[in-house]
Amino acid sequence: GAGTYVVAGAYDLSNKRSGQSVLIDRFIGHSGYDETTMLNDIAVVKLKNPLKLKSNEVEKAVLNTNGNCPSTGDTCTVTGWGDTSFEGSPSDVRLKCSIRVYDRPTCQRSYRFTITNSHICAGTEQGGKDACQADSGGPFICSCGNKQVVAGIVSCGIGCGNADVPGVYTNVESYISWVTGKAGTVSTRSATGGASGLRGWLFLPMLGLLATVVI
């Protein structure tokens, strides 16, 4: 076949010329991934060629290395092209919404599997704002240390946008050592000095692969 591609920098998926398409060279899933407990819901992919970095289009993501951020009550942003309602239709354009970080005991009341430090829970008391099907793999972005960082990646949830039922995100900070061990060293710089990242690598949840990759 033509192979599997990553599309980066796209906004409107109906525009086939939107963004950059790069072939995947290698996929590495976490060996400890468990779809029952939703632990280790993360993977990295090696690209055949590096993405061309362009301001306001494709830039390196700053991965969160601060174990104290985000905190309960912090407002963060989730973005993606997923369904706009439970079992609804996906969006052609990238959407985003602001949601609040929940404490783990409150989050635990909604889930049968154990919520651990490797998870982040976020949602709203009123409902109506959430990640949904096909958003898996999308970034959960928070302000940590005066810079915007990828603190989580969309993992799972119960329905979409239910009141006081937070979604679950893979906690990026918990997997920094795993990511760097698989893909090389992350160079963390200040927000003014440039963004940190892994040249030629992308990371994503195991269940989110098809939401992030265009085949």
Give the pLDDT mean for 185-195. Answer: 34
Contact between 151 and 70 under an 8 Å Cβ cutoff? The reply is: yes
Distance CA 68, CA 17 (A): 40
**Which pTM value belongs to this model?**
0.84
pLDDT for residue 183 is more than 90: no
94 in Cβ contact with 81 (< 8 Å): yes
Q: In 54-138, which ranges are continuous DSSP H helix?
A: 104-108
* Residue-by-residue DSSP string for 18-48: SSEEEEEEEEEE-TT-BTTTTBT--EEEEES
Per-residue pLDDT tens digits for 74-121: 999 999 999 999 988 999 999 999 999 999 999 999 999 999 999 999
CA separation for the pair 14, 77 (Å, rounded) = 23
Q: Which residues pair with 24 in a beta bridge?
A: 47
Least confident of 7-16, 67-76, 109-118: 7-16
Per-residue pLDDT tens over the stretch 36-64 = 999 999 998 888 998 888 867 888 889 99
The tally of CA atoms less than 13 A away on the side-chain side of residue 17 is 0
For residue 130, the SS3 value is: coil
Residue whose entry in the numeric block shows the structure tokens 């900070």: 173
The H-or-E segment that residue 95 falls in is strand 95-102
What H or E segment, with its residue span, contains residue 150? Answer: strand 147-156
Instruction: Measure the CA–CA gap between 202 and 32, rounded to whole angstroms.
Output: 19
Alpha-carbon distance 23 to 50, whole Å?
10
pLDDT band at 70 (very low <50, low <70, confident <90, very high): very high
